[in-house]
Chains A and B, each alone.
Chain A
Amino acid sequence: MRKTMTSMLAGIGLVLACGTSVYAQDKELTIFWAEWDPANYLQELVNLYEAETGVKVTVETTPWSDFQTKAFTEFNAKGSAYDMVVGDSQWIGAASEAGHYVDLTDFFNKHNLKEVMAPATVKYYAEYPSDSGKYWSIPAEGDAVGWSYRKDWFEDPKEKEAFKAKYGYDLDVPKDFKALRDIAEFFHRPDEKRYGVAIYTDNSYDALVMGVENAIFSFGGELGDYANYKVDGIINSEQNVKALEAYKELYSFTPPGWAKSFFIEDNQAITENLAAMSMNYFAFFPALINEASNPNAKATGFFANPPGPNGDQFAALGGQGISVISYSQNQEEAMKFLEWFIKEDTQKKWAELGGYTASAKVLESPEFQNATPYNKAFYETMFKVKDFWATPEYAELLIQMNQRVYPYITGNQGTAKEVLDSLAADWNATFKKYNRVK
């Protein structure tokens, strides 16, 4: 019965599909990514590949908000529309366990990528499960959460003086979270329509969690033990409570209406003269040094996520590795492309075009670090990044964290301790449900 139905539908489909033009080209690769500048840079990069080999590579994009949905619907339907995907780091668990990604361990080992790429990027973009030695992606677009700030405000002698008088130390790029908080408080002047700091608060995907992670990691905290899924006592640890409180305090120095902000809003905080400092992914910083899009481009500076009270300094990881999709009909061709992609020359070119390479060598090169005002901060950050859970059920964990943390940060509900305790319980239950822990 089902078969008949299927073949019948197939028949209808075939007839209907005839009306649609079918693309046919000998060698063509399609890479799927989100709609943003790095995708444009990647397109420029792969244009070189086409020039070299004649294989046309297309970078297909979709809005960020739908990227994950779209990718996974395609995977789940075992679709061959894309050959490779530049997928978010958290996907790796879900995608590898479900068999959507081709196992790249051999490739990885053959090219010794563990050494070639910055270690943190290998750990979070490529390997799953943690420390298993199995690799599913090539780190492609390195990214992490950093900060931009208003140099002109910071360097204003009057401000410097006032700051010193109030806090007893010089106004400068914050050297720790305490300084970050003080500066935010210092510049927070609602009657002047000038505010302290812009942070991530959007809870529809991972924005808020990234922001909170920045605090947690630098405060010396962890989300849990990725090896054995233990969360109780880790996610709700003392440091984490402090970190969450600190983040909440930062929220009180944000511009009005800051309850659904992500990279656009945070960049706007700088361009629209709203905030003294703004948290954002490095990937979105190019827009801030472009005078056409940022009137304050010349007065915008950048710094890495500052250390916490104990001197720990970490940042939340963004960025994506590139993976080959199991249902692609051009896997061989895709592997060839990857071999080209990991070449040092290519990575250099990639960085020049605006991509954030994960290649350790390129990152360490002074050319790279001096190329832009934020590359140095990026380089520093990329060696101390940490990431969210990458298990297949990460989305549930993420939503649970949003559900608990968001009302606390933006709506003043409960205490940090209560929130994190409940979160620990939620996560525990989820891990139980998927038999990660007994």
Chain B
Amino acid sequence: MAAVTTSTERSLNKLAIVGVLIITMIFLAPIYWIASTAFKPRNLATTIPPTVVFQPEISPFVKLFTKRSQLRTAPTPEQYAAAPWWERLVFDGGEKVVRSGRGEVQWSGYPSRFMNSLIVAITSTVLAVGMGTFTAYGFSRFKVKGEQDLLFFILSTRMLPPVVVAIPMFLMYRVVGLNDTHWGLIILYTAFNLSFSVWLMKGFMDEIPKEYEEAALVDGYTRMEAFFKIVLPEAATGIAATAVFCFITAWNEYAFALIMTNRRAQTAPPFIPSQVGSGLPDWTVIAAGTFLFLLPVAIFTFLLRNHLLRGMSFGAIRK
């Protein structure tokens, strides 16, 4: 139902389209640059003017997945010939693949940290959104003494600078053996996201007419059944929107991941920048790591985008 559109109105609209496109391009330029760098040969990574046309390479990804060190002497032609194609790419880059005492190729920390990220982010998102949904329902439907204070308390737990809790958290984790475990991070991220989740979900829950459950109650269902059969499906949009936010936060968290975990449970965010370490940064490898790491969130968000947009518009306004 468009209001009457005049010609000025129409040209304004065209202007808006152009504006949006320009802004989108500006916003995406750095990301495009990262993504393209992930496929560049090392010597084209930081050229000025930036290299736009180039032969895409896969070597950044090979390097990303292997442990390497600087070549001190060039490989012998035999060595070079005997090496598999991907190892030659590393040789070409003036590096060699580090092998273990038994001669096995050593993986870089990336794959395992990527897996850790997946485990930690998915589990904590499920937990935070799950608990958040339950709690939001509780606050939305039942009388709770000091509800406003409790909600503020829940929100306030997100205000702590991570540095504040890092030391006591670390000491506490040490006592209970949670440091450097997946569960340790999962709990932290869950706690961190829970406040947001409760807040957001409360908005959505308030929007779902309580008549739906009451009809089910009268029809002979228990409240639990009504909750699972009626409320949850209705809240799907809100849950999706909340999940996107929680996932993004957990996926990218840096400070706790750095302090609380070592080899076993560390996630990728602290790992990617560490690739700068060896005297001269190989931007192609960092870009490759960043690019791969962006994919899961981007895909997740893209799949849920309709929920995200719709969800934000009906739940959030009331909070």
Contact = CB atoms under 8 A, between A and B. Distances in A.
Judged by CB atoms under 8 Å, the answer to whether A and B touch is yes
A293 B42 CA distance: 8
A20 B94 contact: no
B270 A66 contact: yes
Contact of A293 (B94, B258, B262): B94
A48 B41 CA distance: 33
Contacts of B69: 37, 40-41, 44, 354
A353 to B, nearest CB: 8
B281 A51 contact: no
Interface string A39-58: 01101100111110000101
Given A63-B273, A292-B95, A264 B176 contact: no
Contact of A354 (B72, B180, B276): B72
Given A23-B264, A37-B279, A295 B43 contact: yes
Interface stretch (A74-82, A242-250, A361-369): A74-82
B148 interface: no
Interface string B247-267: 000000000001100111100
Given A6-B175, A66-B258, A290-B94, A77 B170 contact: yes
A69 interface: yes
Given A9-B172, A77-B170, A292-B95, A286 B72 contact: yes
A69 B258 CA distance: 9
A44 B178 CA distance: 31
25 contacts: A10-B175, A10-B176, A17-B176, A17-B178, A17-B181, A20-B181, A20-B182, A37-B69, A37-B277, A43-B106, A44-B98, A49-B101, A60-B262, A61-B277, A62-B270, A63-B270, A63-B274, A66-B258, A66-B270, A77-B171, A81-B180, A271-B280, A291-B94, A292-B71, A295-B43
A287 B270 contact: no
Interface in A1-49: 6, 9-10, 12-14, 16-17, 19-21, 23, 34-37, 40-41, 43-44, 47-49
Contact of A19 (B106, B170, B182, B281): B182
Contacts of B202: none
Given A40-B98, A264-B279, 20 more contacts: A9-B172, A16-B187, A17-B178, A17-B181, A20-B183, A35-B278, A36-B277, A36-B279, A47-B100, A56-B101, A61-B277, A62-B262, A62-B274, A63-B270, A73-B167, A77-B179, A290-B95, A292-B92, A293-B94, A294-B280
A353 B70 CA distance: 10
A21 B181 CA distance: 9
Contacts, number: 154
B278 A37 contact: yes
Interface of B: 42-43, 46, 67-72, 92-95, 98-102, 106, 166-167, 170-184, 187, 258-259, 262-265, 270, 273-282
A267 B101 contact: no
A160 B92 CA distance: 36
Contact of B277 (A63, A268, A272, A294): A63
B277 A290 contact: no
Given A264-B280, A292-B95, A9 B176 contact: yes
Classify the secondary structure of A's interface with B. helix
A17 B175 CA distance: 12
B277 A35 contact: yes
B311 to A, nearest CB: 31
Which of B93, B259, B262 has the most chain A CB atoms closer than 10 A to its own CB?
B262
A284 interface: yes
A64 interface: yes
Given A17-B181, A66-B270, A292-B95, A79 B101 contact: no
A263 interface: yes
Contacts of A290: 70-71, 94-95
Nearest to A266: B279
A70 interface: yes
Contact of A69 (B180, B259, B279): B259
A245 to B, nearest CB: 30
Interface of A: 6, 9-10, 12-14, 16-17, 19-21, 23, 34-37, 40-41, 43-44, 47-51, 56, 58, 60-66, 69-70, 73-74, 76-79, 81, 263-264, 267-268, 271-272, 283-288, 290-295, 353-354, 372
B41 to A, nearest CB: 10
B279 A267 contact: yes
Among B69, B171, B177, chain A packs the most CB atoms within 10 A around the CB of B69
Contacts of A61: 274, 277
A78 B181 CA distance: 17
Contact of B183 (A17, A64, A70, A267): A17
B276 A264 contact: yes
A19 B123 CA distance: 12
A170 to B, nearest CB: 31
A292 B171 contact: no
B143 to A, nearest CB: 30
Contacts of B259: 69-70, 73
Contact of A63 (B67, B263, B264, B276): B276
